[in-house]
Amino acid sequence: MKKFVIAIDGPAGAGKSTVAKLVAKKLGFLYVDTGAMYRALTLKALNEKIPFSEEEKLINMAKNTKIELQDNGVDYKVFLDGKDVSEEIRTEEVSKGTQFIASILQIRKILWKMQRSFRGRYNIVMEGRDIGSKVFPDAQLKIFLDASVKERAKRRYLQLKEMGLEGDLNIIEKEIIERDERDRKRSISPLVRHPDAFYIDTTGMSIPQVVEKIIFLCKNLNPQ
Ligand code: DC
């Protein structure tokens, strides 16, 4: 019997990570952050000083990389070739570099294989851009999480403030629009909404409301 998969896709800043982690915790499912995989490979390329234009070298690097995701229900860790890089993969430099790694088909194929390998072993909540459209088009529950640009910019601004950093709302908004363009317009595996996916606009919704909505949808599907 196939394990249960909840696929959560959507643009940056729609709240996917926060919501996916809480849904996974409540249901006792494993949380899989696919963005962290693209980030880990980007970090390795930066560390090894491989230019983003050198596709062959990057593909070779990806073939020889071990990425592990750890979820013990409290901490979510990312290991790159055995080293904990959970914090390092969140820098601005890595965020900016991911677009190059994410647009190389051979690299995506390597990561798709890793992502699909989770299915036989666990019930999972997998979050990314192409989970419902590409990785698991047959996921039992597909969600497309969205929010207006203004709302996502406001959330990011507040997040930075919480970390003691001062952001500029206009600049954040511009960056979000640019990132959306890149994610939606790239030729390989762009961010698209699968026709079966439930669309949830989280603008004006609280995190618990979104989590409850997804759990309600999941329970109505009667997972094992
Ligand atoms: O969700 P995130 O910001 O951590 O994602 C990091 C980058 O990886 C971002 O550029 C989008 C890309 N990504 C992707 O192309 N496909 C996925 N399934 C997940 C992330």
pLDDT tens for 105-134 read 999 999 999 999 999 889 999 999 999 999
Tell me, in angstroms, the distance from the centre of ligand 1 to residue 128's CA. 6
In the block, tokens 């497309």 appear at 144
pLDDT of residue 124: 96
Distance, CA of 11 to CA of 176 (rounded, Å): 9
Mean pLDDT of all residues in 10-18: 92
Tell me, in angstroms, the distance from the centre of ligand 1 to residue 26's CA. 24
For residue 20, pLDDT over 90 is answered with yes
3-state secondary structure 36-72: HHHHHHHHHHHHCCCCCCCHHHHHHHHHCCCEEEEEC
pLDDT of residue 217: 95
Contact 20, 127 (CB under 8 A): yes
Q: What CATH architecture does domain 5-219 belong to? A: 3-Layer(aba) Sandwich (3.40)
In the block, tokens 């982690």 appear at 21
Joined together, the tokens standing for residue 134 give 């590409």
Query: Where do the structural domains in the chain lie, given as residue ranges?
Result: 5-219
Query: Which residue did the predictor score with more confidence, 199 or 186?
Result: 199
pLDDT of residue 224: 45
Ligand 1 atom 18, closest CA:
128
Q: To the nearest whole number, what is the mean pLDDT of the chain?
A: 93
Helices 16-27, 207-220: inter-axial angle, 10-degree rounding: 50
User: Which residues are CB-contacts of 201 (< 8 A; sequence separation ≥ 6)?
Assistant: 146, 147, 148
